[in-house]
């Protein structure tokens, strides 16, 4: 089994030294550079984003520069999404973003983790688990979402929160770690 196949399955894999994964991340980094350095809304910028995500752009998707992806093609956006400046998508595990999701500036979505013991960690191993975000969510500025998290529909994540556990539909969460503060009447 290749390291990419292991990554796709959510298994421990060599992310630091595997040539195939290094090449894919290098390609994504180059496309992020083109996107981030292009005139906003230009054909060059939209082409870079299309190539980065390896998909037709959904209706109403807005992504502001700078933005960073590890792979790009492992992140999928629904229609009507807005991604503010400075966001990072560590998408070794898939990141699925629903429709009409607003992502504030400097948010990070981190699908990867590393072994706790340094000998294994220094071997370049990591495990990437998916992040799933429902429809109609709003992320305040500087939100961190960790690996393996599912966020329900209609949620609001307060600025500065660190999401370490799944979030039910229509929850307003806040804090480090984030906890449910209230259920929103929709």
Looking up residue 143, the CATH number of its domain turns out to be 2.160.10.10
pLDDT of residue 102: 98
Break the chain down into helix, strand, coil percent, rounded to 5: 20, 30, 50
> How many structural domains compose the chain?
1
Q: Which two tokens stand for residue 179?
A: 């906890």
114 catalytic per annotation: yes
- Give Rg (Cα) of the chain: 16
Beta bridge partners of 68: 88
Question: What's the predicted TM-score (pTM) here?
Answer: 0.96
Q: Which two tokens stand for residue 151?
A: 């966020």
Residue 179 lies in domain = 3-183
Question: Parallel, antiparallel, or unpaired for β 108-110 and 75-77?
Answer: unpaired
pLDDT of residue 117: 95
pLDDT of residue 76: 98
Per-residue pLDDT reduced to its tens digit, 22-53: 999 999 999 999 999 999 999 999 999 999 99
pLDDT of residue 81: 98
- Low-confidence spans in the chain with pLDDT less than 70: none
pLDDT of residue 146: 98
Helix (H, G, I), strand (E, B) or coil at 179: strand
pLDDT of residue 6: 97
Please identify which of the residues 114, 140, 158, 174 carries the catalytic annotation.
114
pLDDT of residue 168: 98
Hey, what's the torsion of the CAs at 28, 32, 35, 36, to 10 degrees? Answer: -170
Q: Any idea what DSSP says for residue 151?
A: E
Helical axes 19-37 vs 43-53, angle rounded to 10°:
160
Beta bridge partners of 162: 144
């Amino acid at each position: 089994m290749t390291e990419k196949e292991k990554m796709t399955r959510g298994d421990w894999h060599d992310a630091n030294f595997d040539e195939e994964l290094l090449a894919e991340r290098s390609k994504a980094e180059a496309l992020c550079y083109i996107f981030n350095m292009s005139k906003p809304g230009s054909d060059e910028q939209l082409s870079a984003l299309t190539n980065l995500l390896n998909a037709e752009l959904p209706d109403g998707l807005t992504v502001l520069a700078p933005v960073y992806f590890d792979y790009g093609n492992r992140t999928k956006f629904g229609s009507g999404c807005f991604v503010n400046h400075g966001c990072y998508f560590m998408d070794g595990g898939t990141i699925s973003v629903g429709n009409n999701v607003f992502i504030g500036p400097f948010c990070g979505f981190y699908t990867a983790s590393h072994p706790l013991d340094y000998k294994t960690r220094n071997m370049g191993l990591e495990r990437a688990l998916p992040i799933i975000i429902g429809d109609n969510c709003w992320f305040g500025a500087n939100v961190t979402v960790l690996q393996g998290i599912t966020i329900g529909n209609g949620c609001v994540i307060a600025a500065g929160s660190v999401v370490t556990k799944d979030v039910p539909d229509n929850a307003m969460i806040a804090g480090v770690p984030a906890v449910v503060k209230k259920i929103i009447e929709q």
